[in-house]
Structure 1
Amino acid sequence: MLLRSLQAFLLLTFLSACSGVQVSDYSDMQPVFSAEQFFDGKLTAHGVVKDRGGRVIRSFNADIVAYWKDGVGTLEEDFVFDDGEEQRRVWTLTPTGQNSYIGTAGDVVGDGTMTVSGNSAFLDYVLRIPYRADTIDVRVDDRMYLLSETVLLNESTLSKFGVRVGNLLLVITKTLD
């Protein structure tokens, strides 16, 4: 009986140690991130795409126009990649409660969920991307950290069937009028 209890305790300890970082872990971090304040106006993004081994395989720049109307946010993102490819994604952020949003876009499968705490926002969604002559759906775990009034660091992990297949790292800067 004692051995079984010890095994259960060790298993629970191991499982709790493996739990991932939660956005709530950043509740006391400053400056406080507000989607309505940061995603409002003109922004630019600069970043890289990495393969599953961590090698940079693409870079990109983006112009973003963000605004809120009737409590719903819109982010119009226009990307230009280093090989000349252009992409456009238009996000809609709909508040669902204090510090939580539903995020949708044309190439996002279903609804994404965004939660904000302290200086951070975590956005989870499934993105449909072109692959060879078809498309594939990858899960994206976006983690954003507000570094200053005008700088947001974003790191994303892309996975398929629970296996990491790539990463994105980008910096979003806000133009103050």
Structure 2
Amino acid sequence: MHTLKALYLSASVVLLSACTTAIDEYRDTTPTFSLKDYFDGQLTAWGIVQDYSGKLTRRFCVDITATWQGNNGQLDESFYFNDGTRQTRIWNVTVDDNGAVTGSASDVVGQASGTSQGSAFNWKYTLTVPIDGTEYDFAIDDWMYALDNDRMMNRSYMKKFGVTVAEFSIFFDKSADIPSCGS
């Protein structure tokens, strides 16, 4: 019986890993995504959070101010949730000459790392999230897709022990005529 369970678990892991997307699959897609070019100046984004069953649990808006000095940037994010909660995250990011991105924020464990190919950017990190007075660490697999020069879609998967416990869908727009969330 133990052998059968081990075989089933091994087969499940192989099947799940076969379903993962690699950043190289986007190599020839357009428009080309550049973290430095897209996250520059003022941006506004709107998003939703869905739990493991797909149920909508939260909505939010986020204002981002992004500044750069050479290959070092700062993304100052102000989140406004539909339940009245506000949250701030300040990312400090570096883009290497080869395009690899590293970053840190106060609620990120260690360093985030990412890379882009074509119209996609994949960003992975561990995020500490307070829930009912206790902090939990979750693995975040963050995918950004350039739609055009001003708009981008973001899909993030929050995982614990390899299981997706929440998904985030975020639409970014940096058009000049978009009002900020805080106004």
Task: Tell me, yes or no, whether TM beats 0.5.
Answer: yes
Q: Which 4+ residue blocks in structure 1 deviate beyond 6 angstroms? A: 14-17
Q: Deviation digits for residues 79-122 of structure 1, max 9, x if unmatched?
A: 00000000000111112341211011110000010111100100
Output one character per residue of 1:134-173: Cα deviation in whole Å (capped at 9) or x when no partner: 1100000000000010001000000001111110000111
Partner of 1:162: 162
| Greater fraction strand | 1
3-state secondary structure, aligned to 1:48: strand
| Per-residue deviation, 1:67 | 1.2
Residue aligning to 1:112:
112
Q: Which residue of 2 aligns with 1:62?
A: 62
How far apart are 1:70 and its partner, in Å? 3.1
> 1: CA distance between counterparts of 2:55 and 2:76?
28
Q: Does 1:20 align with 2:20?
A: yes
Contact 1:108 1:125 (8 Å CA) reproduced: yes
Letter in 1 for 2:59: S
Q: Is the alpha carbon distance of 1:87 and 1:25 closer, same or farther for their aligned partners in structure 2, counting shifts above 3 Å? A: same
Q: What CA distance in whole angstroms lies between the structure 1 residues aligned with 2:56 and 2:100?
A: 32
Gaps of 5+ in 1: 1-10
| d(CA) in 2 for partners of 1:19, 1:74 | 33
Check whether the contact 2:64–2:75 (CA below 8 A) recurs between aligned residues: yes
Structure 2 unaligned regions, length at least 5: 1-10, 178-183
Aligned residue identity for 2:125: Y
Q: 2:83 & 2:53 partners in 1: Cα distance?
A: 21
Q: Normalising to structure 2: TM-score of the pair?
A: 0.85
Aligned residue identity for 1:29:
T
Give how far 1:16 is off.
10
> Take 1:118 and 1:162, find their aligned partners in 2: how far apart are those partners?
27
Q: Which residue of 1 aligns with 2:151?
A: 151
Give distance in 1, aligned partners of 2:111 and 2:16.
28
CA contact (8 A) 1:99 1:117 kept: no
Q: 1:166 to 1:15 in 2, by over 3 A?
A: closer
Tell me which residue corresponds to 1:4: none
Q: How far off its partner does 1:133 sit? A: 1.2
| In structure 2, C-alpha distance between the alignment counterparts of 1:142 and 1:104, rounded to whole Å | 14
1:53-73 CA distance string (max 9 Å, x none)? 011100000110011113201
Number of aligned pairs? 165
Kept in 1, the 8 Å contact 2:63–2:77? The answer is yes
Letter in 2 for 1:132: D
Is the Cα contact below 8 Å between 2:71 and 2:96 reproduced in 1? no
Tell me by how many angstroms 1:22 deviates.
0.7
Pick closer, same or farther for the CA change 1:16–1:126 going to 2, 3 Å.
closer
| Cα deviation, residue 175, structure 1 | 3.0
Q: How does 1:91-110 map to 2 (within 5 A)?
A: 91-110=91-110
- Percent of aligned pairs with the same residue? 36
Partner residue in 1 for 2:133: 133
In the alignment, the residues of structure 2 paired with residue 93 and residue 26 of structure 1 have an alpha-carbon distance, to the nearest angstrom, of 22
